[in-house]
Structure 1
Amino acid sequence: MKNNKIWITTCLAAFSLGFVQKSEPTLKEAFQNSFYVGAALNKAQFSGKDTKAQELVKKQFNTISPENVLKWGPVHPKPEEYNFKPADDYVAFGQQNKMFIVGHTLVWHQQTPDWVFEDEAGKPVSREVLLKRMENHISTVVGRYKGKIQGWDVVNEAIADQGGQMRPTKWLSIIGEDFAQKAFEYAHKADPQAELYYNDYSLYRPDKREGVIRLVKSLQAKGIKVKAIGMQGHYGLTVPTMEQVEASIVAFSKLGVEVNFTELDIDVLPNPSQRQGADIAETFDADQKFNVYSSGLPDSVQQKLTKRYADLFTLFRKHQDKIGRITFWGVTDANSWLNNWPIKGRTSYPLLFDRQYQPKPAYQAILNMAAQKK
């Protein structure tokens, strides 16, 4: 009995001194009054095969995006064939956990099968045929998830990397510049309540930013409601600057739209080119000088990554009235696309959780920042 009294007295004293504390908030709790915080999921994560990642997602995030299962190729590989099972599982996971579910992506120049643009002889189809194929695809896919998927990346990466003009794609050459307008119209018709987004990378660059502004203004002039512009946050440790990112947040918000950071990760590895984007067609042969941290991330680089994330989230919170969501492109370092792009087989460290599903110092830095009074 005496030992029990001593134990109770010690616990009460510890509590009164503040030694017994509540558990720290998760990411979604820390920013619940600011914006959604989410991650892009692969099939193993939402199907339950990767149970550790699934638990991490349920604990930390309140919005999800699909890495691949709703892109045209995976979901609609042949003219009369749809593969909805993976997408159904993805949506079911989001519904079961009461998450804001995003659909990615309806019209893109990558991961779209050749048959979409060609006739039986392999020749380019007419504008009318391609528009009908686009409408049928969007009507079928968006219609299937009407009321379940709350927001869609309707058009992805339609602005060229240089000069801010429309990217030269088959969509543009066959249909013309109004292909984006048609995609938004078809998506709205299929689900009038869904939020519709334009999504692109390197939007901190002035020329590309201006190209997107022109595109969105042209859509708005035709009465099309663009809910948000998605800024893919595929950043490095020093590029872009916070001032560049902030300039685009402010410029886009002046259009009367929200800003979403849709694909956030930070590449800490050496850059094999002068690329400042995320063009998946740009790849390089394996070279060990671009895979310098294969045995672990040095503490000095870990500190830079931590500061980079803290600075970004400080900026995000500063403009929380303009931002709808922040979505990381992946859950842990182990399944980041940057392990295989732009060079296959690299050991990359771009996210908040390591290969053992454990939070990195950057995670704690973000929570510490969130806990501070503005």
Structure 2
Amino acid sequence: MAQLAKPRGKTIGTAYRSTYAQNDPCYREVALAEFDSLTTEIGTMMNTVQPEPGVFDFREADAVADLAAQHHKDFQIHSLIWDPLDQLQWEIVPSAIRAMAPDRRHQLMIDSITTVMKRYAGRASTVTVVNEAFDQVGHLQPNAWWDTTHNDEYIFDAFRAARLADPTAELYYNDHSAETNSDKSNAIYDLVKRLRDTTVEVDVNGQTVARPLIDGMGFQGHMLGGADQQPNISDIESNVQRFAALGVDVRFTELDVRVPVLNGVATVADLDRQRLVYNMMTQVCLNQPRCTGLTLWGFTDKRSWITDYPDSFSGYGAATPLTDDYRRKPAWKGIADALR
């Protein structure tokens, strides 16, 4: 897959967990053979990298970073600051951190970003600094990080800390359900514009330069592929273009396409519709000069967050381009056909 993308000036990546490869060598082999970018699926989320205040655990993030370096792959970091209020059972923000006084929690946020960014400075090309700050109608989520400032100041502080810690990394804001023009994407557009218009002085190769707080916008791309669920591509293209016009790069950062399943099995018709969605989303990126590429949120149904949380996606599954035994589905051909 990566070999097809490279001549088109794009990268094709995947979220990666080192623990999945421990008893499944196929997982590692396929990831290395087919993708040229590896993203920490969970390794840099707060509950993994800092399970207790001030106590860091870099084992998972280091494993992904080291694998990428050893095989000359691009390395990307996912979601330093995130608190999904609709999935509190995941405890992305550990309970001990959530219980801290707001001012202490805010400082922990700054210190955590600084520590992670400095550890992977020069290794991580791209970092999602803040993830999913808005609800579906464009209001800021009243999460554990918003609670430290009660406005979007915490987002600016997070990006400022990331930029100061590693001036060379590409810094992204990332969100779901923002691919089309909507109240949510309007609010995100306003945030990204203001982040882009705000600069901070940093040292680059011994020279002081002013750099904007943000470099890119990540559209997650968790799509639906059932009947009458195909995306409005012209709407996506116009929305992506307005972000690109701000001078930021864009990327589909968590692409998957879930389809209706019965006992885990999708129909031939739905798998073909899934193929079409993957093909169209790849084509959107190819048509947009500022789109750096695609990252799949897992590549095999054996290791997919969609199938890991069946209660969250009742009646849907089979979201990746490979079956649970690593056979290529029509979706794989959909991506490849677009890239050819």
Q: Structure 2 length as normaliser, TM-score?
A: 0.87
Task: Give the 3 Å change call, closer, same or farther, for CA 39–181 of structure 1 in structure 2.
Answer: same
The more displaced of 91-100 and 164-173 is 164-173
Residue 240 (structure 1) aligned to one of 205, 208, 231: 231
Q: What's the offset of the Cα at 1:328? A: 0.5
**1:219–1:299 distance in 2 versus 1, CA, 3 Å:** same
Alignment of 1:223-238 (within 5 A): 223=199, 224-237=212-225, 238=229
Distance, in Å, in 2 between the alignment partners of 1:217 and 1:305 is 33
2:267 to 298, 301, 304: 298
CA distance in 2, matches of 1:368, 1:217: 34
Q: Which ranges in structure 1 are unaligned for 5 or more consecutive residues?
A: 1-26, 120-124, 270-290
Q: 4+ runs of 1 displaced by more than 6 Å?
A: 344-347
Partner residue of 1:171 out of 127, 145, 149: 145
Among residues 70, 76, 95, which one is paired with 1:102 in the alignment? Answer: 76
Code of the aligned partner of 1:328: L
Q: Does residue 356 of structure 1 match 2:325?
A: yes
- Report the CA distance between 1:136 and its aligned residue: 1.3
- 1:117 Cα deviation (Å)? 3.5
TM-superposed CA distance for 1:250, in Å, is: 0.9
Tell me the distance in 2 between the aligned counterparts of 1:118 and 1:144: 27
**Superimposed CA distance per residue, residues 203-234 of structure 1 (whole angstroms, 9 cap, x where no aligned partner):** 02411111111111221232133111000100
Query: Which of the residues 119, 129, 137 maps onto 1:144?
Result: 119
Alignment of 1:274-313 (within 5 A): 291-294=261-264, 296-313=265-282
- Judging changes above 3 Å, is the alpha-carbon distance between structure 1 residues 71 and 310 closer, same or farther for their aligned structure 2 residues? same
The match for 1:264 is 255
Letter in 2 for 1:251: R
What amino acid is the match of 1:357?
Answer: Y
Q: Which has the higher strand share?
A: 2
Residue of structure 2 aligned with 1:183, choices 158, 163, 166 = 158
Percent identity, aligned pairs only, is 26
CA–CA separation in structure 2 for the residues paired with 1:248 and 1:207: 12
Q: How does 1:1-374 map to 2 (within 5 A)?
A: 27-32=1-6, 33-45=8-20, 48-110=22-84, 111-119=92-100, 125-127=101-103, 129-162=104-137, 164-176=138-150, 177-203=152-178, 204-223=180-199, 224-237=212-225, 238-269=229-260, 291-294=261-264, 296-319=265-288, 321-341=289-309, 343=311, 348-371=317-340
Separation (CA, whole Å) in 1 of partners of 2:106 and 2:267: 51
The CA deviation at 1:347 is 7.2
Closer/same/farther in 2, CA of residues 308 and 231 from structure 1, 3 Å limit: same
Structure 1 residues 156-207: Cα deviation after superposition (integer angstroms, max 9, x where no partner): 0011211x12222222122232100000111111111111000000002411
Instruction: Report the residue type matching 2:171 in the other structure.
Output: L
Q: Describe the SS at the equivalent of 2:257.
A: strand
Task: Compute the displacement of 1:34 (Å).
Answer: 2.7
- Count of aligned pairs: 314
Provide the C-alpha distance between the structure 2 equivalents of 1:132 and 1:368, rounded to a whole number of angstroms: 48
Instruction: Give the TM-score normalised by the residue count of structure 1.
Output: 0.79
Structure 2, unmatched stretches of 5+, are 85-91, 200-211
| SS of residue in 1 equivalent to 2:53 | coil
Q: Distance in 1 between matches of 2:236 and 2:48?
A: 32
The change in CA–CA distance for 1:126 and 1:80 in structure 2 (over 3 A counts) is closer
Change (3 A) 1:117 1:343: closer
- The question of whether the paired residues in 2 share the 8 Å contact of 1:201 and 1:233 is answered with yes
